[in-house]
Amino acid sequence: MESDRPRRAHLVEVWFRGQGWLPFDPTPGRGDLDGAYSAASVGFSAAAVSAAIAAGLDAADYKLETERFDRGSGAGRAADGRDLPGDIAVATDGGSEGSLLRLLALAALALAAGIGLLKLALRRARFFTRNPRKVAAACRRELEEFLADQKIAVPESATTTELGQVVWQQVAVDVAPFVHAVSDARYGPPEAAEEAARRARLELRHIERALRKRLSVWQRVRGLVSVRSLGLT
């Protein structure tokens, strides 16, 4: 025995001028509005909508592509080439592509933010020490990673002086005060190492600001999301 419940497998959303968007079953013999439908307009008239349906619209009228529907004139064209009345338009799922693009954009932004936060956390963690030797090593490592994210390679065997030469040759920034401070903190007398480490951190900030001023917006973004400093390339 066939169930008395209305069949909704073929329901589509149809725009009826003056009535709003209505669920409608275009299957022949099913679009009689005998179900418990809702309307977007307070002036909804089932009789008027039934009269429009009785004008001869069938399921083929609703198989419209988004690009074949003229929303400006309020009229569309059926799949078989017949013009649809100006009173009726068909809801399509053309917005799904836009939703997917927005989702992908949000995912890309989340990934970029995650990479940036990870690198920031790793760099900050290196300075959780009172040992001036380790602070100096952290300063040098941070500068090397900054350069790596901008595709400026520094040989692993390079000394601090050679690191300074690379910076000067590549971006014309004088890092001599930084080189002296790092060297004093790592190899100088213990009683002067703490002050030298403090100067090394201060000089590092000056160098990073000077380097950023020489970078374009695109280069800054590229450096933010680059994983070269993480050793993943």
Residue ending a domain, among 35, 57, 90, is 90
Query: Each residue of 192-209: pLDDT tens digit?
Result: 999 999 999 999 999 999
The pLDDT value recorded for residue 112 is 84
Give the integer Cα–Cα distance in Å for 133 and 79. Answer: 76
Give the integer Cα–Cα distance in Å for 28 and 204. Answer: 76
Lowest mean pLDDT among 37-46, 113-122, 211-220: 37-46
| 19 and 111 fall within a common domain | no
On whether residue 69 sits in a domain, the answer given is yes
Q: How many CA atoms lie within 13 A of 61 on its CB side?
A: 24
The pLDDT value recorded for residue 205 is 94
Q: Is the pLDDT of residue 127 over 80?
A: yes
Query: Each residue of 54-109: pLDDT tens digit?
Result: 555 443 444 443 334 444 444 445 445 555 444 444 445 556 777 888 888 898 88
Domain count for the chain, please give it. 2
| 65 and 38 fall within a common domain | yes
Q: Nearest to residue 200, comparing CAs of 145, 147, 143? A: 143
Give the integer Cα–Cα distance in Å for 190 and 66. Answer: 75
| 141 and 185 fall within a common domain | yes
| 46 and 141 fall within a common domain | no
Mean pLDDT of the chain: 75
The pLDDT value recorded for residue 146 is 93
Does this model's pTM top 0.85? no
Query: Each residue of 11-62: pLDDT tens digit?
Result: 677 776 666 777 766 665 544 445 554 555 555 555 655 655 555 544 344 4
Confidence band for 227, pLDDT divided at 50, 70 and 90? confident
Q: Nearest to residue 160, comparing CAs of 134, 147, 173, 141? A: 141
The pLDDT value recorded for residue 87 is 47
Rg value, the chain, Cα: 34
CB within 8 Å of 57: residues ≥ 6 apart: 26, 84, 88
On whether residue 101 sits in a domain, the answer given is no
